[in-house]
Amino acid sequence: MRRAPPHVSDATVNTLAVLPGVFLFVSPWVLGFTTDGTASWNAWSTGVAMVLVALPQPRAGKAWIALLLGAWAVVSPWILGFSDLRTATGACYIAGTGAAVLAVAKLWQLHGRPPNGHSAPADQARIGPTRMQPVCPDNDP
User: Which tens digits make up the pLDDT trace of 6-62?
Assistant: 555 666 667 787 888 888 898 889 888 878 888 888 889 888 888 888 776 656 678
Could you give the CA distance from residue 132 to residue 114 in angstroms, rounded to a whole number?
A: 18
pLDDT digits (tens, 9 = 90+) for 73-118: 999 889 888 888 888 888 889 999 988 888 888 877 776 654 455 5
**120, containing H or E segment:** none
Question: What's the predicted TM-score (pTM) here?
Answer: 0.66
Each domain of the chain, given as residue ranges in start order, spans: 10-127
CB 138 within 8 A of CB 14: no
Q: What are phi and psi of 76, to 5 degrees?
A: -60, -35
